[in-house]
Each structure stands twice: as structure tokens, then as C-alpha cells.
Structure 1
């Protein structure tokens, strides 16, 4: 369970990290808030009014635009009506007149006069004509502005008012064409002799359609044959004849009318057909400048002009908006627009009028009003901000001072009292409350710092008692903590001298004062009621003179003459871990200070102490658990072998003693080495775990006392083979002497005895070599090989009764037939066992392991083992033994040690390193080995040399061990100065008295060996 704690930082000044520290960066002062509030209010109101006014005016402008467009459409309709109405009347009148007076058609002169009068009376009519059933045609055209308005590629005489186009076709005769230019009085001015057009009215739509009906005909907009202008024709049949009278009306007058309607330089007014042909525009250049067709001879189309607004208008028209007011977006701006149908003539609705004006242009006046309103609002806003700033400054001055005091309190700065006062009652009350709070926080923070500074539960208890005693004016302050078995409240006193006494406990009194412990029984104790300390603990509430302080804030909870105050040590909702007892003697009239404020302070103080004590108890429990696990692992390693027992226990003793001596030494070599609590803890853990990797080392290697020993000693197999040779010699003798005379028998008997002596000598030699106590020279190696070459006969299958692993290794090496000849000693392929899991090169490189890895994991070859030069371990077995250091480093590196124990893997894994770099597993040198690693190395070597329980070597005496270590120091293998300190401090002698047999203590305590009479090499450091 995680216990909350007060986190303190002390970087020169005490600072408490506040939970609201990050949030304060986004806060603003009261002055700014008031000013911003007023400013935002004015801004929102002003903006709202301006926006409302703008939208209101905008809607009015839209309505006005719609009405304007309607008027423009009506005006255009009126213009068209003024154009088409008289023309229709002219056609009807002429058709009726010609029907009544046929001569009017046949007499060209009379017809000319009539047509001239009609053109003069109808200036919007381009031409008036008559077409007959035989193909004859007579047309009078009005020449208005300039000579080139005739539309012909010919020279028009000056003063021309009319031009006549005549086609006469008689029966059986060819067409006669005549093109004459007349003045205003119909005088002849000239003729176009080359006027031959091939024109036949009967091929034109106006004639064909009108000749079939007696009704007035309006043609679609089309191109006139002669002038190539765009316009429409109004025609009607004359009675029941084949003659048709008609007039041509061009669209030039339509564009002129649209130009008069235009009120915007950037706006658009067009008239168009359903298929997108442009009939008129307020911009004459779109119609060829004079309303004439472009050189292609076709009517322009809307799509030809690449105008986004025209394209958008026609798109909306195609989508169905054929009689509507619109809002469009085109060319990067908004437009007011309208599309309305336009009637050309009495029964014609095939054209539409579109008007579009940019919204910006339409609302330009409104925009000026809006800008003026915004300027006024900004001025009002500026004045409002100044007023709000003044008002907020006067209000927030006191709150700013209180905020500054709060910041000082958040930094735990309590050097000055709060003196802020205000005319505003709420702010003044806040200032007084903060003054009280500051004093309480100052007192509590000082206590919290003191509690946090203590590293043990005893120190926390002393601080708690001292502060509580001073705050309550108590004469006696005691602390009761729940025992580990939760059966007692055990008292703690500052002098740590607690006398246990069985004193009767009386309810509400102070009889429990002075008791060393109080039973935590749920029933009555010794026939009386439950002690108030137990009640306060179980209920988790403060008790004053036996009275429960509940409900909070009640007047009855404060007594002027209280003599016993019990405060539970309780954090949050957890169960109390103890009780704080404060009391005064009844004599003398003294009483406790138990006002509401002081009681709450004592409760908060007790809660803080509870957190601190529980944290320290948890830390101590975790450390105890960790320590027990370390010792458990060390005990398990020692228990693996009965011959290395207590090695993991004895090395820490030597290590800690030598480290203490080095820390206390004033020698220059150790001047910078100080063994503080954390460093001592780190070295302690490392020394206990220095051989933890041995849990992976096979026991038979740790215990291997002879060369041929694996899980058992194979010397017995060798001896059996010698027995076989012995019997073979006897059998050979008995076979040889059978039937021989006595003299020869004696010779063979002597040979048999010589063979027996030889076998005994060979086995004795092999057995002595198996011990491995002495170094082996080359002559001995050769003798072993010679002895091993002796042969014996095997009569049984050596692949029977063995494991699958052995069978796999012998698969290709078993005897094919029996009996088989075998050597006395040999290295067989099945003796070599490959690696089950090859060491990972990447992992070895990462940890800096430099020792070479043998080819096989094990080699049980008999000759290979018997010819070991020193000791009893092969290269494979020595690597396996030495690998325990690698495993120690790997295991400890995988442990998440705290910061103060980070060097445990390095210290524990370096006890086989040498100062000259010849050690293992990483080959570290003097520059890379700290003093802790050197201390560990000396302790490990000394314990290994003097250990009396190693089966693979004889235990060295104290003198022999120190001489060997002195030689190692002189050779630069271990730290000579540390070794000298080790000897001079008396650690070897003290250790010898505690752990060595009497026969091993061969030198007096005060004598240091001067020479090395042994010259022995250390071969095993297991």
C-alpha cells in the first residue's frame, strides 16, 4: 500500500511544489479580469448592434435591389413593347390595306411611298418588305446613321436615306435584281449594278410560315440575309393571296435600351435565349460594337466571353432559376442577381433578361455606415477600458497584495505577517483568515521539515513529541505505537527508558500515564472500561479528558481545564498506527491548550507524523525483506556444496572489516575513501551477492577434488581395468605353464610377478596424478599416455543400458563386433560434449567479457583430464567455474537497483579481476577497478586460501595464506597497500580466531611473515 508523503525540495531555500503551480500560468489578475469583462461587454454590445444594423441594412439593400431589378425588367418590357407594338400594327395595317387595295402590291412606286412613310413613322423598324408567290421581293431599308449602316460591301452615296432591294421574277424569265439608293425625298442617288444575291423569299422561314396562316407571325431571332444583322421578323399573309408583308427589327435597339438601364460600371445586364445566345447587353462591344454580328456571322453566345458571372448566371438558369432573385459567388465576390422572362411581341416568351450587380458595389454606402459605427464603438470601447481599468485597480489592490502574500506562502516564505486591510468586508475577512493560515502553515511547515529530515522512526517520534508538547503546553508527551502483532500499544519516550508497570486504568482519568504498554483488547481490561488510548486508536478521533471530540466545531469539544489529550496517528482513511498522549499534572492548576485551532493543528501534526512513520516503517520493512532475500540466496549457494559452505557468509565479514579500516585510515591511498551509510550498504549487498552466479554452476564442478571425477570419481573404472589386466596376466601365465617343466615354470612365474609389480606401480602413478595436488611435467604426461596405450579385451556391448544422450554421442563410435580391443586410458569422441547453448557473442561483447570460450562445453576424456598440468579442472571445467562471475554480472544487471546501489553489479562481478588486467571476466586493469572492487578481491582470495572445507586442496595456514597474497601484491595482481592495511589492522588474526582451526594459526598475532617458504601457485579460486 502506497502511503502519501509530503515532498520537499531544499535547493538553498525550502520550496513546496504546489499542485496548482502549473495552472497559475493561465490565470489573470482581478484588475485585468474586470477590465476585460467590461471591455468585452462593450465590444459584444457594440459589435452586436453594428452587426444587427449591417444585416438589417443589407436586407433592405437586397429588397431594394430586387425592386430595382423588377423596375429594370418592366422598363425593358416597356421598351420592347414600344418597339414591337407599332411594328405589329404596321404589319397588320399594311396587310389589310394591301388586301383591300391589291394595287398597293403590284404598283412598286405606290408601295415605295407607303413603305417610306411607314419607316419614317416607325424609327425602330429596320426594313419593310413584301414577298410574292412567284418569288418576287420588294424591300425598303432605312439608312439611319452612317453610310456603312447598309450592311453591304458597297459604297453608299452621300445623303442616302433609303435603299431599295428588288427581285422580279416573271413566268419563264430569270430573276431581275435591283439595288437602288434613295434620298429622303425618294430621289434616286445611285444603284448597285452588281447586286445579284440569288435571294428567293419563298426559301425564308418568315415567308413559308406566314403564307400558311392568316395570323401575325413572329420569327425566331435570326440573321438577316443582306445585312447579316441579328433580329426578328414580323410578317403576315395578305388576305388569301400568296403575298406576305413584313418588317425587320434588329437587336441594336435592345442593346441601347439595356445600356440606358445600366447603373453599375461592373454590373451586367443581358438578354439571352434558352440556348445561351446573347441577344443584347449593356456593353455594346459584346454585340460587335453596333449590334452587328461578329465576322463568323452567328449570334454570340454567353460561353464565348469567359465571364465568370455570365457563366454562373446561365448555369443557374439551366438549373431552373428562370424567374427568381439570386445571390451568386463569382470572380471572387458576391453578386445580387435577377433572372426574368422577357416578352418580344404579343405572343412570344423565348428570351430572358439577367441583371447582376456586385454586392460590394451595391452595399458601398452601407459599408461606410458600418465603418463609422465601428469607429464610434472603438472610441466607446477605449473609454470603457480606461474606466474599467480605473475601477478594477481600486478594487484589486487589496486582492493583489493578498495574492502576493499567497505566492510567498506557496514558496514557504513566512518571514513577515499579513497586514493587508480593505474597506470591502469580504476581502478584509479573507486577509484576516490568511494571516491566521500563514501562521499555522509556518508552524506546520517547520514541523514537516523536521519530520522529513529524520531518517528513522525514532527521530520522527522525538520531533513529534517535542512539537506537540510545545504546542499544547503539556508537561508530559508520550507516543504509543501499535506493536507488530497488533496486540499492544507500546510507549515510546524521548529517553528510551520505559519501565513496564501494571497500573490500573480508570476511565476519563490519567491512570494510563506512565504505562509502558496498553493491551488492545476489544473487551474490558481487568474488569474496567476500555482505556481512552484504545478508544482514540480504534475510533480514529481525538479524545479530551475521556470525551470524544465530536461533532467537529461543537463548543463542548473545547475545555478550559483539560488535563489529558489523546490524538490518533492517522493518515487519510487508514487505520491509526498509534496515539499521541499529552497530559499535565493535576497539581498546580495547569491545563492543556485545547482550543479549536490548536486541536486541529495537533491532529494535522499527528497525521503528518503517521505518514512519516509509516513510510519509514515500509522502507525498513522493504530493506529487511531485501536483506533476507540476499542472505537466502547466499545460503542457497553455500548449501549447494557441503565443501564451500559459509563462503558467501564469510566474505562479507572480511569485506566490511577491511572497508571500515580503509575508511578510518589516514594513509594517502585512502584519504578520498569515505564509507558513508549508502556506500557501506552498496558494498554490503555486493559482497553478499558476489557469488550469486554459482547457482548456475554444476555442483560436481564446484566439488571436483580429482581429475577423473565427474558426477562420481572415474578412478574406480580405471582400477577395474587394471584388475582386468592383472587377471589377463595370470591367465596368460596359467595357459603358458600348462604342461611345461619346472624350470620354465619358474621363469614364467617371475615374469608374472614382474608384470604384477608393473601394474601396481602404474596404477599408483595414475592414482597420484588423479589427485592433482602437484604440478605435472612433460615426462609424467608421456608416462600417462604410455600406460594408457595398454590394451584389454571388452566382451560386452558398450551401447547397452545408457541414456539417449550418450547413445547419440556413441552412435558412430560403438564396437562393431565383440570381443573388442580397448585401450587402458583413452580420449573417446563421446567424452566430448558440445555446448547445449553457446554463449551469445553480442551479450559477451556488451558486458566486456574477454575470457575465451572453449570449443566444447565439457571434455571427459580420460587422458585429457589426467594430463591436467595444475589442479583438477580442465579448460572446459575452469571456464564453467569462472562463468559464475559472468552469471553474477548478468543476474545483477537484470535487477533494477536504486540509485544508491547502482554499482553493486560492478563491485560483485570484479572480485576475480587483477590489477595487471590478467583477471576475468573482463580483464580490467588498475585504472578501472575502484577501491571497493579491490577490497572484495582481497577478501575473496583470503577466504578461499584459508577455507578448511575445500575437497580439491589442502587448507592453507594463516602464514601461508598471507605469504601467497604478499607475492600477489608484489606481482601487481592485488592492491599491495590494501593488503598491508588488511594485515596491520589485525583483520586476518581476528578472522582466524573466529573461523580457522587451531592448526591453521601458525603465526603470533603481532608477527608478519617475512619470507615465502612455499612458493606455491594458486590454481583454484572456487
Structure 2
């Protein structure tokens, strides 16, 4: 794995043991917690179902005695009469029923006249009346006796535990209460049997409860008992599963029969509450659950889980088994935290035990890991030494772990093998010469394979048979001169055919031909990466070779093949690059006859000067030397110093006249002069027609012709560039240019798209039109593309002034060139070849050793005084090789005979000119002095100059006046 963080094995073992113990403990704790939770959940469900059964029993136990008491009182003779006095006689019986039934808070009777009689146990319930209840009062007796349609009067008194009367209050009865309007009275008469009302608020006590009532006969008498839901609330408390559990008893209409009202209701109750009024969120869902349970046939319970204030609650609704009452449902809300408290306790205890085990395990794990990791740590140090290419330390690590022992042995063998390979790599990679490389290869492979000797067959020519190129026997070369190189010994052909090593027993006859004792051989083919045979390595070994040894030799042979192939590829690549260099240089020389063999001759002059500088024993260059890479860089740079000329248009390089582009435009001007002469002829004929004397008209025509001929002759001489254009010549040229001629044809027809685009930038002129004989027209100015410009401070350091236009082909401007034939734009285009040379060479991926090639090639137009181009570098900023190139370039240009635009200089003339260039700050004085003193210039002249150019042998007279100029 590359990158990332690592960890020591000792730490890893400790961490692994800790993680193992932690994981096992955590899984045990989690498993125990899950099993306990599942058990508690199932137990809670069973407990809820048991609570439902117990609630059914308790509910029946609460209501059954009340039912019996109501039936019993309905048979009481005093209560079966419509007489208030008779009802008073039944008070002891009613008190007995109150004492025997805990569920009922009061018993009462009402009739169809609106009379009402009630006996209540004030110790069980609060009484909602105006008068204060005496302290010793045990029972309350309240009656309403009506006469006719009047409100009647009410009577209220209390009884102590001995049924002694305590006070009495008689007042007009309240019209708000009439038993005949109460639900228990109407339902008892309508149904005819024992009934239980829906929960409602009691008139006397103000409590919420239900009434048990029974009609006693046909005289409209109804006996009943009030059952307050407080009794049911106390019953529900016994069914709580956890301290914070919430329970509620519902009927099928969703009315609350019993609940802990202080928790589930808010405000003062004025009527029977409904399930939707429950305040606790865990119970608020009971309404939906009740509807679901009622609509589900055969279902006895409904369960939901929800989150309340960040805590999980489980809400369950159970249908109580069939009782003597209507359908009753038990709702239970249980907080999950309390329900699973026992499970969490078990989990925490297991985790605590796991932590204790960890505390005891870590020291033991640390000791064991150190004992296991110590040999590996030692092997790591050995491996680190191998990684640092230190193979001197022996590897012998003892351990009771077999894998560690095997690793130690394998690492030791690897160290030995790598030591051999590194020695081979070091010694072979440092030998670039193939003639020296082959003996080294034979020696090293013999040593690494523990062989007595070796032979090497190679394919010297592509697709040719292998030839014997060398051999070694016990550190001595084998004389192969007496052996036919193409003769193949020792199973060479078999190994080539099989592409596998081939063993051969000792063959005394074959060995004797090489002057060797009879020895067994192993022929190993040397295959390229494309499985092409490069050669065969024959190893002599008098000991039997096992498969491991053969495998090692096979791997070794692959490296030998790779080394041979690499050197072959490098040679081929270098040859290919050399061919491309010559191809580019030849193309440049062939492009224009004006350059001739320039690119071929400059490298020779540069190398002669470089060798002379290396041979210098005094002066600035006394310590100057060049490596093989420096020589190769100079070779490439000198051959490609003008490669940028491939981008220079030929008509610019070869421009022989001022008006020449692709063709010489002097012919256009000549034609215009012809037109003017034809106009003179027409004027002559017109004059004759008008009666002018022929002699006069003819003399006038001839005078015009002579003038035009003279003016054209002058323009033609201006075009050649052979004469300096002084002010008088320029003024005369301007005068001639002002002559007018009549153009009648559209000059936008039949032209290229590029020229048409330039013309369209100017307005169309109506024909015919009088134009100047010689003119500079806007369409003759070619704009410079943005990619042919560069900013100040560019990456190459170019600082040449760039003309505004790419070309300016104005006729008058070109003819007005004072010296030569080139405009400013064309001169820049020619000089730009150095810029293109630098750009092109910088685009090539030269290795670091050849990184100076662009500077060598692109600096031959720089000057020592910094006034050269394209970068304006000074002598101190130029390398010695770049300064050598400048001298070689100038010398070749002066002496070349293949340039038709100028005669070649003799040796003395060239050296004289170059001495002046040195003194003028153009060339390096010290290098030029070496070029002259060493005779390098004469060697070049003898090879490339004609005999008539070799006009001097006295070279020292051309040394600069100050040849001690610094040229570092």
C-alpha cells in the first residue's frame, strides 16, 4: 500500500486482542440486551394481557355486588311504595348495602312524580352541596318530595355511624334536578332490566361516574346506585408495568371510565371525558387504535410505538374479555427506558466485566506481541538495509514461528540475489560502449550464475544468423578468432527454437575447438520484450544445475537481454533522431539556393572551434572542456540552428528585387507605362484627326515616349536595389508616381478571398477611375496575426521590435527602400527564423543533458555587446557554445560559394571582416583568436573552400587588437 499511515506489528497485535475482547464482550452484551429486551417485551405483553384479565375480574368484583344490591333493594317493600315516609324506613337497609359494597357511593330511588330519595356514604366521596358536612357524619340522606306540578321541597340530613340523625335542612327543591329527566331513570323504564349508564357528572357529588339502575314495577319506581370512577382509578394503579406507566379504561364509545386524571386530563371535569381529550402523547393515539381494534374482527389488542420528547413509548390497547358489562378496553402507555431498565443493567454489567478483562489482557497482550514481533522487527531492520542497497549485513534471525524462519531465509537469499543484480546493473549501466559492454556482461553473468565461463552469440545485422561475438573462461577472454563466427555450438539452435534454456552434457570435441576442457553447458536465449531473439548466452558449468538455479539464470538472462535491447534501442533512436536532424537541415538547404549547404557546413566549423577551445592551455579557456553530452548538444544545436527557416516564405528569403513577392510586380508597373505610352499614341492620332500637323503631333508623341521610357528605366533601376536611394532619387520617384492612368476594369474580380477581404475594408470606387501610376494602397498592408506577437517579459526573453504589419507590399514604399530589397516587415520575417528555431527546439522534450540545445542553436545572432537578436543577450549571458556558433555561422556565410546574391569571400577577406566584427562588439574576441591561432579556420578552409579562396597562410595578422577580452 502506497502512502497512508502504518502501524507497528506489536501495536497491531495488542489492538487486535483488545478489539477481539471488546468485540466479543460487546456482542455478548448486545446479545444479552437484545434477548432480555425481547423477553421483557414478551413479558410486558403477557403482563398487559394478565392485567386485562385481572381488570375484568376486578371490574366484575366491583360491579357484581352493586348489581346484587340494586336488585335486592328493588325488592325492599319500603322502596316499592310511592311514599317518602316508607323510603325513610328503608334507610337502615340501604346503609347495610352501602357497607357491604365498596363500589357504590350512594343508593337512590325515584318515581314518575319526580320524587327522589338518596342515601350516600360521605366518607367515600365529596358532596357538592352548600352546607358543611358535620365531622361525625357518616351518611347523607337527601330527598325531594313533589306535590303536583310544583317544585316541591327538599330535605337533607346526616347520620352518624350509629344512624343517629344529625341536623336537618328543609328547603324548596331545585327545579334543575328531576329524576325523571336523568338518563338512568329513562333507560331503566325503557329497557325493563338492570342497566348501566354511560359516564356522566353526578348531581349531588359532582363526580364523574356511571349509574346502575332497575325499574321495580309498573308504578314508575326506579332503584339505582352511583358508581364513581374514582374506585376504578384506584383499581388501575395496581396494573402499572413501570412507575411511569399510564393506564386508562375506555368504553366502546371512547369515553374514559378510569384513569389517573391528574396526569392525563387538564382542567376541571364537567362531563364524562373522551379519549381524544387525553393530554399524554403516548395515550393520545388510543382513539385511532380503538377504531382500528373495533373494526378488526377477532383482534384482542393493538400495539404502537412512538417517540415522546425524545423518549420511546409503547402504547397498547386491549379488549377486556366478555363480562357482565358492555365492551371495555384497557389502554396502557409504557416508557421504553423504564421497561428495559433491567436489560440495560444486564448489558452494563457485561460491559463492565469486559472492561475488567481488557485491563487484565492488555499487559499480557503487550508481552506476547513483543515476543512475537521482535524477530520481525529485526528482519525489518535487515530489509531496510536492503532497501538502502546495503547487502553486507548477514541475515540470520531465529524464531519459533516457522513463517518467520522462512521469511528470514527468503530475505537472505533475496539479499544475495539483489546484490548480484545491483552489481550487474551498476557495472553494465555505466558502460555505454558496446565493445566494452560485452566482456563485462560475460564476466558478470558468469560470476552471478557461478559458471566457469560463458559465450555470447548476437544478431549483429537484422534478420541475419547469430554470430559468436565473445567469450570468457575463468576471468580470461576466449580466443574466437580461429572459429567461424556463424558456427553455432552447444544447443544454440535448440534454445532459439524453443525459446527456453537447453542443457547439454559435456562435449569434448566442441569444447576443444575453443580450447576449453569438456564442460556441461546451458544455452539460454536472450529474448526482447517482443519475444524476438537477440542472442544466446552459453554458460559453462561442471556442476549439475537444479531448477532453482536454472530459473535464476533465466531471470538473469532476461536482464542481460534487456540491457542489450536497451542499448540497441538507444542506438536506433539516436540514429533515427540523427536522420531527422539531417532531414530538416537538408530541407532547409534545399529550400533556397541562397543558403546552399549552410546547415551542413556550420556544424563542422563549430566543432573545429570547440575542439580548439578544449585544447587551449592558456587564457580564459585554459580550463574549458566538454563532456560527451556537451558535444552531442553542440552537434544538434549546430545542425538545427536554422530550423526556424522552414517557416520563412521562400519569396522573402529569395527576394531579389524590391517589388518581388511570389512574382516581380515591376511587370505591373511596366504595363501601366505601356498604357501611358498607348495613351500618347492615341493623343497623337487624335491630334492628326483634328488637323494638327503630323510633324508637330509626332514630335510631341515621341517626346512623351522618351520621357516615359526614361522614367520606367529609372523605376526599374530602383527596383533592383543596386543603387542607394538618396533624397533626389526619392523625390524623382515620388514625382513619377504621381502620373495618372485610367483604370476601367474592376480590380475586385478574380482575386483571392484574403485579398478580397482586405479590399472590402475600403469603399468601392465608380469606374472608370484615374489612379496614380505607382501607389501604396491599403489592401497591400497585411495585418499581423495575434499569435505572431509576443509581450514584453515573455517566457523566451524575446525583445525584438515587431513591425505593425505582417507585410507591407505598397509599391511606392518598396521602391523607396534606401538600401537592399527588403522592407522592415520582410527583414523582421527573415530574422524571425531565430525565434521560430528557439520555439521549435524548446517544444522538443530534450533530456536535462541536452537542455542547452535551444540556447546554442538560437544564440548565433546575438552579439557580445548585447545588440543582437532575438533576446539582446550579452557575452556574459551566452554560453561558450552559443558564442562559438555565432563565429561558425558568420565564417561559413562569408566564405560560401553557393549564394547567388553575393560573391564568396577569400579566407583573408573573411578573417579581416570578422576581426572588425570582434572589435565592434559583435563576436567573441577570445574565441575568434582561438579559431585563428589553432588553425581551425584553415582546416575548415582546406575542406570546404575552393583553391582560389585560400589566399593566405599568415593567420596571426588577423588576430583582434585586444584578444584578451573576457569571454566567460
Aligned pair in 2 of structure 1 residues 105, 899: CA closer, same or farther (>3 Å)? farther
Aligned pair in 2 of structure 1 residues 187, 222: CA closer, same or farther (>3 Å)? same
Kindly state the Cα deviation for residue 873 of structure 1 after the two structures are TM-superposed: 0.7
Task: Answer yes or no: is the 8 Å Cα contact 1:809–1:829 preserved in 2.
Answer: no
Aligned to 1:557: none
Aligned to 1:888: 837
The separation in 1 between residues aligned to 2:99 and 2:361, in whole angstroms, is: 75
Question: Of 564, 568, 572, which residue of structure 2 is paired with 1:617?
Answer: 568
Superposed CA deviations along residues 867-892 of structure 1, whole A, max 9, x for unmatched, are: 10221111232233233334334444
Task: Answer yes or no: is the 8 Å Cα contact 2:718–2:815 preserved in 1.
Answer: yes
Question: Of 723, 729, 734, which residue of structure 2 is paired with 1:780?
Answer: 729
Superposed CA deviations along residues 401-433 of structure 1, whole A, max 9, x for unmatched, are: 455444443443221323334567776566555
Aligned to 2:808: 859
Aligned to 2:626: 675
Superposed CA deviations along residues 435-462 of structure 1, whole A, max 9, x for unmatched, are: 4443333223322322233335444423
Question: Of 227, 248, 258, which residue of structure 1 is paired with 2:236?
Answer: 258
Aligned to 1:826: 774
Aligned pair in 2 of structure 1 residues 99, 652: CA closer, same or farther (>3 Å)? farther
The separation in 2 between residues aligned to 1:740 and 1:258, in whole angstroms, is: 152
Aligned to 2:650: 699
The separation in 1 between residues aligned to 2:244 and 2:623, in whole angstroms, is: 93
**Mean alpha-carbon deviation: is it higher for 719-728 or for 931-940?**
719-728
**Mean alpha-carbon deviation: is it higher for 41-50 or for 534-543?**
41-50
Kindly state the Cα deviation for residue 144 of structure 1 after the two structures are TM-superposed: 0.9
1:835 aligns to 2:783 (yes or no)? yes
Aligned to 2:463: 486
Superposed CA deviations along residues 506-541 of structure 1, whole A, max 9, x for unmatched, are: xxxx99895463279xxxxxxxxx873233233223
Task: Answer yes or no: is the 8 Å Cα contact 2:84–2:145 preserved in 1.
Answer: no
Aligned to 1:1016: none
Aligned pair in 2 of structure 1 residues 73, 83: CA closer, same or farther (>3 Å)? same
The separation in 1 between residues aligned to 2:409 and 2:753, in whole angstroms, is: 91
Aligned pair in 2 of structure 1 residues 170, 777: CA closer, same or farther (>3 Å)? same
Task: Answer yes or no: is the 8 Å Cα contact 1:105–1:111 preserved in 2.
Answer: no
Secondary structure of 2:536's aligned partner = strand
Aligned to 1:463: 440
Aligned to 1:191: 169
Task: Answer yes or no: is the 8 Å Cα contact 2:32–2:346 preserved in 1.
Answer: no
Superposed CA deviations along residues 942-969 of structure 1, whole A, max 9, x for unmatched, are: 4334433334444444444445444444
The separation in 2 between residues aligned to 1:87 and 1:301, in whole angstroms, is: 25
> Residues 165-176 of structure 1 correspond to what in structure 2 (within 5 A)?
165-176=142-153
Kindly state the Cα deviation for residue 668 of structure 1 after the two structures are TM-superposed: 7.1
Task: Answer yes or no: is the 8 Å Cα contact 2:229–2:258 preserved in 1.
Answer: yes
1:991 aligns to 2:940 (yes or no)? yes
The separation in 2 between residues aligned to 1:741 and 1:41, in whole angstroms, is: 132
Aligned to 1:652: 603
Secondary structure of 1:212's aligned partner = helix
Aligned to 1:269: 247
> Residues 682-831 of structure 1 correspond to what in structure 2 (within 5 A)?
682-716=633-667, 718=669, 762-790=711-739, 825-829=773-777
1:540 aligns to 2:540 (yes or no)? no
1:869 aligns to 2:818 (yes or no)? yes
Aligned to 2:55: 76
1:310 aligns to 2:277 (yes or no)? no
Task: Answer yes or no: is the 8 Å Cα contact 2:153–2:171 preserved in 1.
Answer: no
Superposed CA deviations along residues 131-174 of structure 1, whole A, max 9, x for unmatched, are: 2223332223321168xx21235433443333344333332434
Kindly state the Cα deviation for residue 896 of structure 1 after the two structures are TM-superposed: 3.9
Task: Answer yes or no: is the 8 Å Cα contact 1:207–1:244 preserved in 2.
Answer: yes
> Residues 508-527 of structure 1 correspond to what in structure 2 (within 5 A)?
515=483, 517-518=485-486
The separation in 1 between residues aligned to 2:216 and 2:450, in whole angstroms, is: 136
The separation in 1 between residues aligned to 2:587 and 2:534, in whole angstroms, is: 37
Secondary structure of 2:227's aligned partner = strand
The separation in 2 between residues aligned to 1:237 and 1:787, in whole angstroms, is: 149
Aligned to 1:948: 897
Aligned pair in 2 of structure 1 residues 370, 633: CA closer, same or farther (>3 Å)? same
1:570 aligns to 2:548 (yes or no)? no
> Residues 6-405 of structure 1 correspond to what in structure 2 (within 5 A)?
29=9, 51-97=30-76, 101-103=80-82, 107-144=86-123, 149-184=126-161, 185-191=163-169, 193=171, 196=174, 198-262=176-240, 264-273=242-251, 278-281=256-259, 283=260, 285-286=262-263, 294-295=267-268, 297-299=270-272, 306-311=279-284, 320=293, 323=301, 330-333=308-311, 338-342=316-320, 346-354=324-332, 356=334, 358-365=335-342, 367-380=344-357, 398=375, 401-402=378-379, 404-405=381-382
Superposed CA deviations along residues 572-631 of structure 1, whole A, max 9, x for unmatched, are: 7723311123459xxxxxx57856665544433322111122122222222222222222
| TM-score, length-scaled by structure 1 | 0.79
| TM-score, length-scaled by structure 2 | 0.83
The separation in 1 between residues aligned to 2:504 and 2:482, in whole angstroms, is: 16
The separation in 2 between residues aligned to 1:959 and 1:433, in whole angstroms, is: 76
The separation in 1 between residues aligned to 2:667 and 2:895, in whole angstroms, is: 30
Task: Answer yes or no: is the 8 Å Cα contact 2:47–2:241 preserved in 1.
Answer: no
Q: Which runs of 5+ in 1 are unaligned?
A: 1-19, 496-509, 521-529, 549-559, 585-590, 1013-1022
Secondary structure of 1:518's aligned partner = coil
Aligned pair in 2 of structure 1 residues 643, 989: CA closer, same or farther (>3 Å)? same
Question: Of 546, 550, 555, which residue of structure 2 is paired with 1:604?
Answer: 555
Task: Answer yes or no: is the 8 Å Cα contact 1:409–1:438 preserved in 2.
Answer: yes
1:443 aligns to 2:443 (yes or no)? no
The separation in 1 between residues aligned to 2:20 and 2:304, in whole angstroms, is: 37
Secondary structure of 1:492's aligned partner = strand
Secondary structure of 2:940's aligned partner = helix
The separation in 1 between residues aligned to 2:164 and 2:679, in whole angstroms, is: 169
Aligned to 2:955: 1006
**Mean alpha-carbon deviation: is it higher for 861-870 or for 384-393?**
384-393
Task: Answer yes or no: is the 8 Å Cα contact 2:932–2:955 preserved in 1.
Answer: no
Secondary structure of 1:577's aligned partner = strand
Q: Which runs of 5+ in 2 are unaligned?
A: 294-298, 473-477, 508-516, 962-968
Kindly state the Cα deviation for residue 223 of structure 1 after the two structures are TM-superposed: 1.6
The separation in 1 between residues aligned to 2:31 and 2:107, in whole angstroms, is: 59
Aligned pair in 2 of structure 1 residues 300, 738: CA closer, same or farther (>3 Å)? closer
Aligned to 1:556: none
The separation in 1 between residues aligned to 2:481 and 2:247, in whole angstroms, is: 110
Superposed CA deviations along residues 813-846 of structure 1, whole A, max 9, x for unmatched, are: 999667x8765x5015276143384546578875
Task: Answer yes or no: is the 8 Å Cα contact 2:918–2:960 preserved in 1.
Answer: no
The separation in 1 between residues aligned to 2:706 and 2:72, in whole angstroms, is: 169
The total of aligned residue pairs comes to 939
Superposed CA deviations along residues 33-80 of structure 1, whole A, max 9, x for unmatched, are: 777777666666655555555555444444544444444444433332
Secondary structure of 2:486's aligned partner = strand
Task: Answer yes or no: is the 8 Å Cα contact 1:69–1:355 preserved in 2.
Answer: no
Aligned to 1:553: none
Aligned to 2:397: 420
> Residues 906-917 of structure 1 correspond to what in structure 2 (within 5 A)?
906-914=855-863
